[in-house]
């Protein structure tokens, strides 16, 4: 029977350095967990313990196949996950002084803030080793640095994994013979620095047994980290984007050697050669905002730049885009009078679960509940002389049409018992229609999202009319894979949606149960 090891971070802080990347380790790697289990096996009182069973369990565990993980959201402090702590200097006579009078220096310790527990899911059946593993896990009290207090246990139910073998994110795992090597290193009083590495990525489907909808009007997407001398809040995104887009177009023009007679590609400029707005899909700039957890600051920590479907890596427009953005290491933010910069992050450098993780925009393989992190700009107006209920219904219809333009064909949730309409929709699509329940609000349920009433972007249409601006909450009847960007100004990031929360369904032996462990 499969099982999972659940790691609860008592203080919601995990402080450990990943030797592979040199930065903060985003979750407790199986190698570190195995070393902690060995330490629990070798230390402590041996009374009422089956030492032979514990050793047999460790020998079995080191030979298991690479597990899958449920990591969830992981967040980092503003300084990139580096924590400054005072550490006592090592000196021959330091013990002659009280601690308050000893010389100290500043040490840097990477740390991160997991939003929930980590699940390490093994497909093997523990069998006779189950009881010994449970006893070892109960004696593990910290992982990484000693301040990272944890509670470890073996469970039979776990949420759907969001990391599986096969990807670019490197994870350290134990190997066959690790227990003997650790014992030998301990006898020789040397540090053990050998492990097995496996690449991990998003599973093929994070929702087992359900039909996942994957349409999207966005194609290739590149992620850039944003650096600035000042804190960039979501409320200033419109101002930043004007400077960013202006600098981007200047770089593109320089890249093609434009002399004023050659128009820029409409897929990058967003305009036709005559200067009118482009009629075909074009480039989008999406703000990566720290939002969605209780301590979210609403900062813009990065930018995701997306090209429409149909533009591939071999397209000249993609090469122009990459060359222009990679050259924007420093540029002027005109309105604020400071400098900002962009640095492209390859997939293996995007922390899982963090704001710079592209998987978050995709809903971790599929999510049913989404909410806008930047308000949606409505592409239309309700009819005059309508009742309040009628106006709300018209707003929801505009949201549904915006979903269709974004690649999702959905129907607003109907009244129960409307079988004739449901049969008609099924006949049109050849299958069950995608249902969506829509809520229109001023404040997004995502912590850190800016109130729609505090934003003042230029939302005027071609006739000079101010279009409506509001947050939207979408609840689909089956999982949908993002990115989801809806509304009239979606190429500027307005209407960008994030999953409200990772899917909290639990799985026992591959089957869903009502409550997660």
Render pLDDT for 18-50 as a digit per residue (tens, 0 to 9). 887 777 888 899 999 999 999 999 887 777 788
pLDDT band at 187, cuts 50/70/90?
A: confident
- Percent of the chain whose predicted confidence (pLDDT) is above 90: 20
Interval 420-427 mean pLDDT: 37
Q: What is the pLDDT of residue 298?
A: 85
> Tokens for 368?
């049913």
pLDDT above 70 (res 265): yes
pLDDT above 50 (res 220): yes
Calpha distance 498→257 (Å, rounded) = 38
* Mean pLDDT lowest among 31-40, 138-147, 211-220: 211-220
Q: What is the pLDDT of residue 188?
A: 85
Which contiguous run of DSSP H or E holds residue 355? none
Q: What is the pLDDT of residue 515?
A: 36
User: pLDDT higher for 156 or 215?
Assistant: 156
Reported as a single tens digit per residue, the pLDDT across 431-479 is 466 788 888 998 888 888 888 888 878 887 777 788 889 999 998 888 8
* Mean pLDDT lowest among 61-65, 292-296, 338-342, 403-407: 292-296
Which residue ranges make up each domain of the chain?
3-76+112-201, 218-346+353-513
Calpha distance 476→487 (Å, rounded) = 18
Interval 52-58 mean pLDDT: 93
pLDDT above 90 (res 54): yes
Residue pointed to by tokens 């489907």? 205
Q: What is the pLDDT of residue 512?
A: 38
pLDDT band at 160, cuts 50/70/90?
A: confident
Contacting residues for 1 by C-beta, under 8 A, at least 6 apart: 125, 126, 156, 509
Reported as a single tens digit per residue, the pLDDT across 370-420 is 999 999 999 888 777 777 788 888 888 888 888 887 777 766 654 333 333
Q: What is the pLDDT of residue 503?
A: 37
CB contact at 8 A, 315 and 289: no
Q: What is the pLDDT of residue 104?
A: 57
Interval 255-279 mean pLDDT: 75
pLDDT above 50 (res 317): yes
CB contact at 8 A, 201 and 168: yes
- The 3-state secondary structure of 432-494 reads CCEEEEEEEECCCCCCCCCCHHHCCCCCECCCCCECCEEEEEEEEEEEECCCCECCCCHHHCC
Calpha distance 368→408 (Å, rounded) = 13
Q: Write phi, then psi, for 378 (nearest 5 degrees).
A: -70, 130
C-alpha Rg value of the chain to the nearest Å:
26
Q: Helix or strand or coil: residue 228?
A: strand
Interval 312-333 mean pLDDT: 88
pLDDT band at 428, cuts 50/70/90?
A: very low
CB contact at 8 A, 450 and 233: yes
User: pLDDT higher for 427 or 345?
Assistant: 345
pLDDT above 80 (res 496): yes
Phi/psi class of residue 157: alpha, beta or left (left: φ > 0; alpha: ψ in -120 to 50)?
beta
> Tokens for 404?
């269709």
Interval 332-347 mean pLDDT: 84
Interval 289-299 mean pLDDT: 79
User: pLDDT higher for 145 or 141?
Assistant: 141
Mean pLDDT across the chain, nearest whole number?
A: 78
pLDDT band at 55, cuts 50/70/90?
A: very high
Residue pointed to by tokens 């997306």? 306
- CA angle centred on 477, ends 164 and 205, rounded to 5°: 15
Q: How many CB atoms lie within 10 A of CB 281?
A: 21
Q: What is the pLDDT of residue 502?
A: 46
CB contact at 8 A, 295 and 113: yes
Per 3-state DSSP, what percentage of the chain is helix, strand, and coil (rounded to 5)?
A: 25, 30, 45
pLDDT above 90 (res 61): yes
Q: What is the pLDDT of residue 364?
A: 63
Q: How many CB atoms lie within 10 A of CB 108?
A: 11
> Tokens for 401?
């049409």
pLDDT band at 85, cuts 50/70/90?
A: very low
Whether domain 3-76+112-201 has CATH 3.30.70: the reply is yes
User: pLDDT higher for 469 or 500?
Assistant: 469
């Amino acid at each position: 029977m499969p099982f999972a090891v659940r790691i609860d971070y008592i203080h919601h802080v995990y402080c450990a350095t990943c030797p592979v990347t040199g930065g903060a380790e985003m979750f407790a790697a199986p190698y570190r967990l195995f070393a902690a289990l060995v330490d629990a096996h070798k230390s402590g009182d041996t009374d009422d313990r089956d030492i032979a069973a514990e050793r047999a369990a460790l020998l079995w565990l080191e030979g298991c196949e690479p597990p899958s993980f449920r990591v969830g959201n992981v967040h980092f402090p503003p300084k990139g996950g580096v924590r400054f702590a005072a550490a006592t200097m090592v000196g021959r006579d330091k013990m002659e002084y009280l601690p308050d009078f000893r010389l100290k220096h500043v040490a840097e310790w990477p740390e991160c803030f997991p939003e929930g527990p980590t699940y390490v899911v093994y497909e093997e059946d523990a069998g006779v080793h189950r009881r010994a593993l449970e006893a070892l896990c109960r004696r593990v009290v910290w992982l990484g640095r000693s301040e990272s207090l944890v509670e470890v246990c073996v469970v039979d139910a776990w949420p759907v994994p969001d990391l599986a073998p096969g990807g670019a994110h490197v994870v350290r795992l134990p190997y066959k013979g690790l227990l003997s090597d650790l014992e030998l290193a301990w006898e020789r009083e040397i540090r053990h620095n050998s492990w097995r590495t496996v690449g991990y990525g998003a599973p093929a489907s994070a929702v087992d047994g359900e039909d996942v909808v994957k349409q999207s009007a966005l194609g290739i997407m590149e992620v850039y980290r944003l650096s600035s001398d000042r804190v960039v809040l979501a409320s200033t995104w419109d101002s930043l984007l004007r400077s960013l887009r202006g600098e981007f177009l200047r770089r593109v023009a320089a890249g093609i050697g434009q002399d004023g007679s050659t128009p820029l590609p409409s897929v990058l400029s967003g305009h036709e050669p005559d200067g009118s707005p482009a009629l075909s899909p074009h480039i989008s700039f999406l703000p990566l905002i720290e939002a969605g957890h209780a301590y979210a600051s609403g900062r813009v920590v990065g930018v995701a730049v997306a090209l429409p479907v149909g533009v591939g890596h071999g397209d000249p427009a993609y090469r122009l885009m990459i060359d222009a953005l990679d050259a924007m290491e420093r540029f002027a933010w005109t309105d604020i009078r400071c400098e900002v910069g962009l640095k492209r992050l390859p997939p293996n450098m995007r922390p899982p679960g963090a704001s710079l993780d592209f998987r978050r925009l995709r809903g971790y393989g599929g999510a049913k509940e989404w909410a806008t992190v930047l308000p949606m700009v409505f592409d239309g107006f309700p009819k005059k002389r309508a009742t309040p209920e009628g106006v709300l219904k018209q707003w929801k219809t505009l949201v549904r049409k915006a979903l269709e333009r974004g690649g999702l064909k959905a129907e607003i949730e109907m009244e129960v018992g409307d079988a004739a309409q449901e049969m008609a929709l099924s006949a049109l699509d050849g299958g069950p229609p995608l249902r969506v329940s829509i809520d229109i609000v001023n404040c997004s349920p995502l912590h850190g999202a800016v109130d729609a009433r505090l934003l003042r972007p230029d939302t005027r249409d071609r006739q000079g009319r101010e279009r409506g601006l509001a947050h939207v909450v979408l609840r689909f009847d089956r999982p949908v894979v993002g990115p989801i960007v809806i509304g009239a100004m979606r190429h500027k990031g307005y209407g960008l949606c994030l999953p409200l929360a990772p899917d909290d369904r639990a799985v026992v032996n591959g089957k869903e149960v009502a409550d997660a462990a």
